[in-house]
Amino acid sequence: MRITNKTLATNFLNNLNRNLTQMSKYQNQLSSGKVVTRASDDPMLVSKIMDIRNNIGMNTQYNSNISDTIGWVETQDGALNGATAILQRVRELIIYGANGTLSASDRAAIKDEVVQNVEGLRDVLNTNFDGRYIFAGQNTKTIPFKFTEAEGLTYDPANDKNIMREIGQGINVEIITSSKEVAGDAADGLGALLKNVISSLNSTDPAEIEKLSGELLGKLDEKIESMLSLRSRIGAINNRLEASKSRNETENLNLNTLLSQREDIDIAEKFMEYNVMSTVYQASLAAGSKILQPSLLDYLR
């Protein structure tokens, strides 16, 4: 086959362009620090990188959900700790008020202190976290508990549903936010009990005073035990969240490591490859100067 000057020139330019393209690729990788900078560089690799980035994004959101929920349940635990302390004080006042030798004025003073404690209990149960009430069911923007001496400690019966939080793909945790979980049934719960305590302290009837150290004290002990049990359940939820957060952070670290392996370049390796390709390119230019010699037509111009 006859090799013409045109064939030599065409082959030279094709090879030169190929070398220049490869050198440009290494330049882009060195300047960006990434193996690929556009989908056309390696569609399969870009698809894998996008999947990893998507997983990292979801994990980051889950981590934010977990952190927020941990803050929520820790606030709940603190509120219930305060509520338990108040109920313990009310218990002491009931025992003191059940003393039959007290005068009506003494018992009225005890009643007033109980009222103040119940108001304090209302305030504790109305604790909010980041602008959301922690024991308002799913109506977290509405104050859940109210108190008057006539009606006692009350809450909206609609606040009886807990909140679900997504802490992982397909993983949900139920957060105890129901007012009913905290205060019990409206008819026979904590609010009704405290209302009866105040009523008995306000009475001069010996039968009512006797109820203080009997029926009412026993029921209050049950409510305190129930409050401690609720704290235990919230503590278990907190432990689960802490474990989930640890797993999430480990998974995110692994995903970021995998992402770096897929998309980040080895600078030393790429710099060496670039230098080799630069040398090849310079050699191509030198060879081309020998191939593209002046032809007869150049002398006839």
pLDDT, tens digit, 9 for 90 and up, residues 212-245: 888 899 999 999 999 999 999 999 999 999 999 9
Kindly give the pairing relationship between strand 171-175 and strand 163-168: antiparallel
Please check the confidence at residue 66 and state whether its pLDDT lies above 60.
yes
% residues pLDDT > 90 (the chain): 44
Please check the confidence at residue 296 and state whether its pLDDT lies above 60.
no
Please check the confidence at residue 105 and state whether its pLDDT lies above 80.
yes
Q: How high is the mean pLDDT of the chain? A: 84
d(CA 67, CA 62): 9
Please check the confidence at residue 34 and state whether its pLDDT lies above 50.
yes
164 strand-pairing partners: 174
Find the range with the poorest average confidence among 23-32, 35-44, 83-92, 189-198. 23-32
Q: What is the pLDDT of residue 213?
A: 84
Fold of 68-258: f41 fragment of flagellin, N-terminal domain (1.20.1330)
Find the range with the poorest average confidence among 85-94, 105-114, 231-240, 271-280. 271-280
Q: What is the pLDDT of residue 40?
A: 67
Please check the confidence at residue 98 and state whether its pLDDT lies above 60.
yes
Find the range with the poorest average confidence among 94-108, 120-134, 154-168, 244-258. 94-108
% residues pLDDT > 70 (the chain): 79
Long-range contacts of 146-151 (CB under 8 A, 24+ apart): 146/122, 147/118, 147/119, 147/122, 149/115, 149/198, 151/195
Q: What is the pLDDT of residue 299?
A: 44
Which range of 45-49, 131-135, 295-299 scores highest in mean pLDDT? It is 131-135
Q: Encode pLDDT of 106-163 as tens digits.
A: 888 999 999 999 999 999 999 999 999 999 999 999 999 999 888 889 999 889 999 9
- Between residues 1 and 77, which one has the greater pLDDT? 77
